Structure 1
Amino acid sequence: MLISQYTYFALSSNRVSAAEITARLGIEPDEIAVRGSRLASPARPACHRWKITCRVPGWTVDEQIDRIVDRLFIHAERIGELAVELDKFDGEPGASMLQVVRVFEHPDGEEEDLTGPSEGFEKLAGQHQLLGWHLDARMLEFLRLTRAELDVDEYAYG
């Protein structure tokens, strides 16, 4: 089985641009989306989005999330305050999001490693090394401080 996965932390708004979010936080994003830049009606992307991403191949989801938390934890309270403001501007919750995306059988995905035993156990097919992950207390505190929702999307390629 091939698996491709990445994570990102995003602040999103229908009314406040990614450039304005950058100015407020003083943190340069890795990626941005501009509402309606691909299609005006209906607006696609549906909202402005400021993103910090981790797309390191071969890393587990928790390693990718840890990289993002390492970058942003010292700013977490300020991010959370801005998230509350964005929710008020847009009239709905959900401005702050930690997103996990996993795609099964993606041609650029990572092969399952079946070489050698692991900790004395025989490796069997279907136990891909990238499957399974956890959120430790620090990651949960980051989600609380940033007022972030956790969204996990898993897809089959094709």
Structure 2
Amino acid sequence: MIVSQYVYFALSSNQLSAAEITARLGIEPDEIVVRGSRVACPPRPTRHRWKITCRKRGLTVDEQLKRVVDRLFDHAERIGELAVELDNVDGEPGASQLQVVRVFEHPDGEGEDLTSPVEGLEKLPGQHQLLGWHVDARVLEFLRLTRAELDVDEYAYG
């Protein structure tokens, strides 16, 4: 099995651009999405998006979540206040999101490591080292402070 995965935190809005979100927070994003940049009518993508990402290979989802949360935790209350404002401006909830994306059998993904025994036990196929993850108390507190939804998407490549 081959697994590709990444994590990001995003603030999104129909009204405020990623540049305006950056100016309000004083934090430069790793990635941005511009509303309507692919198709103007109807707009695709449907929302502006400001993103902090972790796409580092070899890390579990837990470790990727930790890296994103560590970068933003000191700003979490301010992010949460802006998220409430964005929800109000756009007239709908969901401006703040912590996203996990996993793609199985993606050609750029990571294969299973069957070479190293774990605690003296032989590894068998189907026990990929990147599978399984948990959300610790700090990540839960970050979700609460930023008023973020946790969204997990898993896809099969093809």
TM-score (norm 1): 0.98
Unmatched tracts of structure 1, length 5 or more: none
Unmatched tracts of structure 2, length 5 or more: none
* 1:154 equivalent in structure 2: 154
Distance 1:14 1:61 in 2: 29
Distance 2:46 2:31 in 1: 15
Write the mapping of 1:62-81 to structure 2, written as runs, cut at 5 A: 62-81=62-81
Q: 1:23 and 2:23 equivalent?
A: yes
* 1:141 equivalent in structure 2: 141
**SS of equivalent residue, structure 1 residue 9:** strand
Distance 2:71 2:116 in 1: 35
How far 1:116 sits from its partner (Å)?
2.8
- The percent identity for this pair of structures is 82
How far 1:96 sits from its partner (Å)?
0.1
TM-score (norm 2): 0.98
Structure 1: 4+ residue segments shifted above 4 A: none
**SS of equivalent residue, structure 1 residue 6:** strand
* 2:101 equivalent in structure 1: 101
After superposition, the C-alpha distances for 1:22-41 in whole angstroms (9 at most, x for unaligned) are 00000000000110011011
Distance 2:83 2:120 in 1: 47
Distance 1:2 1:71 in 2: 28
Task: Tell me how large the CA RMSD over aligned residues is.
Answer: 0.6
How far 1:42 sits from its partner (Å)?
1.6
